[in-house]
Structure 1
Amino acid sequence: MAHMPPDLPAMIADLRALVEIESPSTDPAAVARVMDVVEARARELSGVPEALPGGTRAFSFGMGGEERPLLVLTHADTVWPHGTLETMPFRVEGERLFGPGTYDMKAGIVGVLHALAALEGRWPRGGVRLLLTPDEEVGSAASRPHIEAAARGARAVFVVEPPVADSHALKIGRKGVGSFALTFHGVASHAGNKPQEGASAITEAARAVLEVQALARPEIGTTVSVGRMRGGSAVNVIPAEATLEIDLRASTVAEGERVTGAIRALTPADPHVRLTVTGGLNRPPFEPGPGTLALFTQAQTIARDLGFEIGGEVVGGGSDGNFTAPLCPTLDGLGAPGDGAHAAHEHVRLDRWPDHVRLLTRLLREV
């Protein structure tokens, strides 16, 4: 790899340091160890750290005055449990760098640190605020208030989640993400001796599966999937309880509200069965508004000036950008190109990564 740009070996070394600290969302201490490494690097770049409630850390670079800062979103947690490195070791094979959490999204953290270093202390007006959160992979419950507060005070948001896997395009929109649990409470009885005295929770759940999935409108981006169903206690007992777990994806706020309202209005056909519904839309749709599209156009212009083309796509998966897009122009997918998020072949494309770091550097300098 003699053709590597001069900054790539340092980026690889920094990424290795983060990846080899396994940091599943379920282990706050491990996530904090990743944050400690990032904080040390941020301090070297004159970043001012701040520990926020719930485990989020913020770093300010050149902030001050009346101008609002640029906000960059990152997360330190991964989906991978401890011990994954034994079967998915950090390694380079040709132009691909493999390892748990490389693509999603520790390479994004490394990329923004190198982009900030490339500014050489010449911060954009208003400066840069970097948020490093501990719980993105599990819904961002603790970090969401900090993300939304920072977005309200920012003039633009950059999310360094990875770009689209196949096309390496930026993400100019994301579907909203919802999850629901429907629990049916029936009446148990002996299935052979007195079935008429029972009320089957499973029968009502089965009816609801078809009713719920009929709410989908895939032609406009709304998908509804019953991903898990469980219930019953024994084969010879009329089941007194059954639960459905539902995944909702919606491209617009209106569609998210339509499906949510319909799910909450479900009524069992058997009056002896009671239904409780929990959950809702936990990430609002990231609709590509004018501010986001203007950021994307600027990114395309910069990329062409750097010698490559960049596309923009709306995707189904959620990120913390879903929280900021309704509040502030947001451009997502500014992390490292690659593939395999949450999969055994997770990797970063080393031949493309430096170009995307240069793009992020220019955006931080020019937006």
Structure 2
Amino acid sequence: MSVSAEPTPGKPTGTASYLHELRSRRPAMVHDLAVLVSAESPSTDRSATAASADEVADLGARLLGIPPERAGHHLMWSHGATRVLLIGHHDTVWPVGTLSRWPFAVDGDRATGPGCFDMKAGLVQMFHALSVLPALDGVSIVVNADEEIGSPTSRAFIEHAAEGARAALVCEPSADGALKIARKGIARYRLDILGRAAHAGLDPARGANAGLELAHQILTVAGFASRETTVTPTTMSAGTSANTVPASATLAVDVRSFDDDEFTRVDRAIRALRPVVDGTRLAVHGGVHRPALPASASASLYHLAREVAVDLGLPEPTGASVGGASDGNLTAYRGVPTLDGLGPVGGNAHAEGEWVDLAAMGDRSALLAALVHRLLRP
């Protein structure tokens, strides 16, 4: 599909005009989305994220009037001391080559393509929203390239950008249109089990079966879950051949909770694990990856977003608590009021058929613009 870009109109005056202006930019937003989606950007492919960073930098420079600062493939736009921080990412979970079988396409009000919903449409909406504001003094923007793998190289970059901010607005996808007012945190663990190999037929009793120990630990770890805290054994492996008692095994564990105290409880329980099978040994690695984003961190901003929506003549957005984490967890942990899910309406994140509601892009962008405008008031 081919989409022609339209020139970005001049800046409107007053928040009441943001909605009309940004709704009128739908063709330009669709074009910009097509460009970003066409730059495939799996987190671990450095050449791909470099090319994607260039496209995002070009879009931001065109709409904001200044180029970004760069830290590797992470981008930052700064307009003086930060009062409002906007956060997004341009990496995706989709490998290079996905576009060859699933290209960006538009059918009526729906756009599809790898990474369109999570979260390249959010970047398009963010830059267009900021472009209509009369001034950007106090606004900083971070777009990182490794959010989908836990922001290992951008975490310090984001935390530094958040210093002194009165608000962090995360342009990740909405939850069926709802703002994300709470997110579970994540802890990740790896259990390494060491046993002793032996021939499974000739002398199995000489072995210490790491695979059998793995089975015991899987059941024990799964029992650490509580009503809202999930403790999920995920990837696992054991053994080297079908006729050998396994000498080693590995188990990954994913822990999610809205309550940071729960991470302390589960961490103590995991570190207290002891082997059951004679002759095996157990080592535990890992810990809290991202702390929780509690509803208390978003409450004031959520209230303001609902006020702003009414002022614009839009329906009041609802709020949702979700199990996935984002970079908003990091800013909330630093004490910065944080509201997430300000990005696109759509669905199927990380799945075939990921899609964006194009008819909602202007409204979501206007909501973001008016919210930043209110937060920048003296």
TM-score by length of structure 1 reads 0.92
Provide the rounded CA distance (Å) in 1 between the counterparts of 2:59 and 2:254.
Answer: 38
Contact 2:83 2:164 in 1 (8 A): yes
Alignment of 1:277-296 (within 5 A): 277-289=284-296, 291-296=297-302
Provide the rounded CA distance (Å) in 2 between the counterparts of 1:359 and 1:234.
Answer: 58
Report whether the alignment pairs 1:330 with 2:338.
yes
Report whether the alignment pairs 1:308 with 2:315.
yes
Q: Offset at 1:351?
A: 1.9
Provide the rounded CA distance (Å) in 2 between the counterparts of 1:42 and 1:55.
Answer: 14
Match of 1:340 in 2: 348
**What number of residue pairs does the alignment pair up?**
352
Q: Return the match for 1:32 from 50, 55, 59.
A: 50
Provide the rounded CA distance (Å) in 2 between the counterparts of 1:301 and 1:14.
Answer: 29
Q: Return the match for 1:202 from 206, 211, 214.
A: 211
Task: Give the aligned residue type for 1:89.
Answer: P
Task: Give the aligned residue type for 1:18.
Answer: L
Provide the rounded CA distance (Å) in 2 between the counterparts of 1:213 and 1:329.
Answer: 33
Question: What runs of 5+ residues in structure 1 fail to find an aligned partner?
Answer: none
Task: Give the aligned residue type for 1:252.
Answer: D
| SS of residue paired to 1:173 | strand
Provide the rounded CA distance (Å) in 2 between the counterparts of 1:230 and 1:161.
Answer: 34
Report whether the alignment pairs 1:234 with 2:241.
yes
Provide the rounded CA distance (Å) in 1 between the counterparts of 2:197 and 2:56.
Answer: 55
Q: Return the match for 1:350 from 335, 355, 358.
A: 358
Report whether the alignment pairs 1:273 with 2:292.
no
Q: Offset at 1:48?
A: 5.2
Match of 1:181 in 2: 190
Provide the rounded CA distance (Å) in 1 between the counterparts of 2:256 and 2:289.
Answer: 10
Task: Give the aligned residue type for 1:210.
Answer: L
Provide the rounded CA distance (Å) in 2 between the counterparts of 1:5 and 1:202.
Answer: 58
Q: Return the match for 1:102 from 103, 109, 116.
A: 116
Task: Give the aligned residue type for 2:38.
Answer: E
Match of 1:51 in 2: 70
Moved more, 312-321 or 234-243: 234-243
Contact 2:53 2:74 in 1 (8 A): no
TM-score by length of structure 2 reads 0.89
Report whether the alignment pairs 1:215 with 2:191.
no
Contact 2:24 2:362 in 1 (8 A): no
Q: Offset at 1:329?
A: 0.4
| SS of residue paired to 1:351 | helix
| SS of residue paired to 2:24 | coil
Q: Return the match for 1:82 from 96, 100, 104.
A: 96
Task: Give the aligned residue type for 1:39.
Answer: A
Q: Offset at 1:232?
A: 1.3
RMSD of aligned alpha carbons: 1.7
Report whether the alignment pairs 1:118 with 2:132.
yes
Q: Offset at 1:326?
A: 1.4
Provide the rounded CA distance (Å) in 1 between the counterparts of 2:152 and 2:174.
Answer: 24
Contact 1:28 1:134 in 2 (8 A): no
Deviations 1:18-40 (A, max 9, x none): 11111111222221222222223
Identity fraction in percent: 44
Moved more, 202-211 or 39-48: 39-48
Q: Offset at 1:314?
A: 1.1
Question: What runs of 5+ residues in structure 2 fail to find an aligned partner?
Answer: 1-19
Provide the rounded CA distance (Å) in 2 between the counterparts of 1:193 and 1:85.
Answer: 53
Deviations 1:50-94 (A, max 9, x none): 122x43221113x25xxx421011111111111111222111112
Match of 1:144 in 2: 155
Task: Give the aligned residue type for 1:33.
Answer: A
After the TM superposition, which segments of 4 or more aligned residues of structure 1 sit over 3 Å from their partners? none
Provide the rounded CA distance (Å) in 2 between the counterparts of 1:216 and 1:294.
Answer: 31
Report whether the alignment pairs 1:128 with 2:121.
no
Provide the rounded CA distance (Å) in 1 between the counterparts of 2:339 and 2:181.
Answer: 6
Alignment of 1:239-250 (within 5 A): 239-250=246-257
Q: Return the match for 2:169 from 152, 158, 165.
A: 158
Provide the rounded CA distance (Å) in 2 between the counterparts of 1:261 and 1:8.
Answer: 52
Contact 1:156 1:329 in 2 (8 A): yes
Alignment of 1:251-270 (within 5 A): 251-270=258-277
Q: Offset at 1:231?
A: 0.6
Contact 1:51 1:57 in 2 (8 A): yes
| SS of residue paired to 2:333 | coil
Provide the rounded CA distance (Å) in 1 between the counterparts of 2:61 and 2:36.
Answer: 17
Task: Give the aligned residue type for 1:51.
Answer: R
Contact 1:60 1:129 in 2 (8 A): yes
Match of 1:22 in 2: 40
